[in-house]
Amino acid sequence: MATQRVLDFLATRRPEGPCLVVDLDVVRDNFRAFEKALPDSKIYYAVKANPAPEILRLLAAMGSSFDTASVAEVEMALDAGATADRISFGNTIKKERDIAKAYALGIRLYAVDSVEEVEKVARAAPGARVFCRVLTDGEGAEWPLSRKFGCVPAMAVDVLRHARKLGLDAYGVSFHVGSQQTDLTAWDRALADAKRVFATLAEEGIVLKMVNMGGGFPTRYLRDVPAAQAYGQAIFGALRKHFGNDIPETIIEPGRGMVGNAGVIKSEVVLISKKADNDNVRWVYLDIGKFGGLAETMDEAIRYLIVTARDEDEKALCVLAGPTCDSADVMYEKAPYPLPLSLTIGDEVLIEGTGAYTTTYSAVAFNGFEPLRSYVI
């Protein structure tokens, strides 16, 4: 729920238009909770979740490392005070000239998931460390990452072997169990795969050193989610089970779990109407929608908590839509959303848990709507 600091900010500053307000105190608490839950793992904040400079500076000062996906994100992490040895280029799909630029900036840790990408890294970042991403089934995740990234474990063996042959440091294995992952056993399945890659390569004398256990740590939306501590226990238990006394270096890359619950979007009801006199389904249109930052409502995947000043009143289901002239700009229709019957045009609503994957998903000026403004306090 919105913190008092955020509520005070909104009450005193009264910013016009939809905006995101991020409370850095919450980010600080989240970072500490991850440190405590997995004390032996290094934290690489996934910059794409929210690259606001204030967030990156706070995390850099707290000792975080950074998972980046582009040269621009590498530069943001450097500008925030992170040294190059605390930054990984975690995207498996990179232009060779971007690898070269990152290498020139000092980056020595790269993700790959194919022999073809290894060839690029070997040419543009000679001698660098590479880790190979393996596919996961994404089951249990509300925002699964599908088959776009990673390869099957048997292929990861080939990829890392090839990396070694080309003079790279075959450093480890990575996976991402899918974003907003609430099934604590998901890491167990992925770590079993990672261990198989370690074991097969060890037989050939290639000793991997690191497992990158990715992101996936959830934010509370409508339902409670397990605490960081529960994830820590489940993950550490799985590491013990699969690696015994030989637990490698580990990395986690929280994005959503680091900043999701730190942010709240303030929005306004623009219109409440019906499609026919005898139709009692209300359509509620907000001044923010899929193109203004709520892209994760795609397929109604992420269901945000929406708070109004009239929540004590009787509620009824309604269709919730955004303000643009694109018919795709409907957030919840297949599963309509309960809002107070007394809700009125002009009311402000708070959309909770929106610190991750909102500002950067907002269009620049679709239909002339400004990109989502953000205040970090």
Ligand X SMILES: *Cc1c(COP(=O)(O)O)cnc(C)c1O
Question: Which residues make up the interface to ligand X (CB under 6 A)?
Answer: 46, 48-49, 67, 90, 176, 179, 214-217, 253-257
Least distance in Å: CB of 89 to ligand X?
10
The DSSP code for 275 is S
Residue at shortest CB range from ligand X: 215
Length of the chain (residues): 377
* Contact criterion met (CB below 8 Å) for 151 and 190: no
Q: Nearest distance from residue 301's CB to ligand X, in Å? A: 12
Nearer to ligand X, 193 or 253 (CB): 253
Other Cβ atoms closer than 10 A to 227: 12
Q: Are 128 and 121 in contact (CB under 8 A)?
A: yes
> What span, in angstroms and rounded, lies between the C-alpha atoms of 130 and 90?
10
Measured from the CB atom, the residue of 47 and 78 that comes closer to ligand X is 47
Q: Say whether 147 sits in a helix, a strand or coil.
A: coil
The CB-of-178 to ligand X minimum distance in angstroms stands at: 7
Beta-carbon neighbour count of residue 175 at 10 Å? Answer: 28
Please, what is the minimum distance in Å from the beta carbon of residue 179 to ligand X? 3
Nearer to ligand X, 214 or 248 (CB): 214
User: Of the two residues 142 and 347, which places its CB atom closer to ligand X in the complex?
Assistant: 142
> Is the Cβ of residue 211 or residue 349 nearer to ligand X in the bound state?
211
Q: CA–CA separation, 109 vs 86, rounded Å? A: 9
What's the rounded Cα separation, in Å, for the pair 328 and 222? 23
Nearer to ligand X, 294 or 343 (CB): 294
Give the shortest CB-99-to-ligand X separation in angstroms. 16
Rounded least distance, CB 141 to ligand X, Å: 8
142's tokens: 């509300």
d(CA 298, CA 38): 32
Give the CA dihedral 17, 287, 298, 252, nearest 10 degrees.
20
